[in-house]
């Protein structure tokens, strides 16, 4: 998407939802594996009650290799989903996307924000900032 955005192979791959679904399947397999590990019920309860409300709880969970693996797969699937949106939107509207894709894969929301700003500038339409 970044290095060969106009390649027929890149377009065909990204027009399909299969890459995102494969990443989602990887995420599901990591979650399933994690739930079979000793102490997983307690870790899940901790995440559900503390992890979403306390930064310190998320920091503590990052000491678990199973949690880190699951989170890595989660980020991979989400970044690919958003990156695919940026890529396809850029193709459809003839907007350059390599910089936005780079930052989407590196810093997530910053890349999407860059794409929305780039789109508004290229299209000379500030209202496009508020539309996905």
Angle at the Cα of 126 from the Cα atoms of 98 and 119, rounded to 5 degrees: 15
Q: What is the pLDDT of residues 14-67, one digit of tens each?
A: 999 999 999 999 999 999 998 898 888 888 888 888 877 888 888 888 888 888
Domain count within the chain:
1
Query: Residue 102: inside a domain, yes or no?
Result: yes
Query: Residue 3: inside a domain, yes or no?
Result: no
Q: What is the pLDDT of residues 62-109, one digit of tens each?
A: 888 888 898 999 999 999 999 999 999 999 999 999 999 999 999 999
Structure tokens at 131: 């539309």
Query: Residue 1: inside a domain, yes or no?
Result: no
Average pLDDT over residues 108-115: 96
Task: Name, in order, each residue with C-beta under 8 angstroms of 5's C-beta and a sequence gap of 6 or more.
Answer: 87, 90, 91, 97, 98
Please tell me the predicted confidence (pLDDT) of residue 99.
97
Query: Residue 2: inside a domain, yes or no?
Result: no
Query: Three-state SS for 5?
Result: coil
Q: Which residues form the domain of 85? A: 8-130
């Amino acid at each position: 998407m970044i290095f060969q955005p106009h390649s027929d192979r890149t377009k065909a791959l990204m027009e399909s939802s299969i890459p995102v679904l494969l990443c989602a399947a990887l995420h599901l397999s990591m979650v399933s594996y994690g739930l079979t590990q000793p102490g997983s019920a307690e870790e899940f309860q901790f995440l559900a009650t503390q992890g979403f409300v306390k930064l310190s709880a998320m920091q503590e969970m990052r000491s678990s290799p199973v949690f880190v693996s699951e989170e890595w797969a989660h980020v991979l699937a989400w970044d690919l989903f958003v990156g695919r949106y940026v890529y396809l939107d850029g193709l459809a509207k003839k907007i350059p996307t390599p910089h936005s894709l780079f930052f989407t894969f590196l810093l997530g929301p910053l890349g999407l924000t860059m794409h929305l700003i780039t789109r508004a500038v290229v299209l000379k339409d500030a209202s496009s900032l508020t539309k996905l």
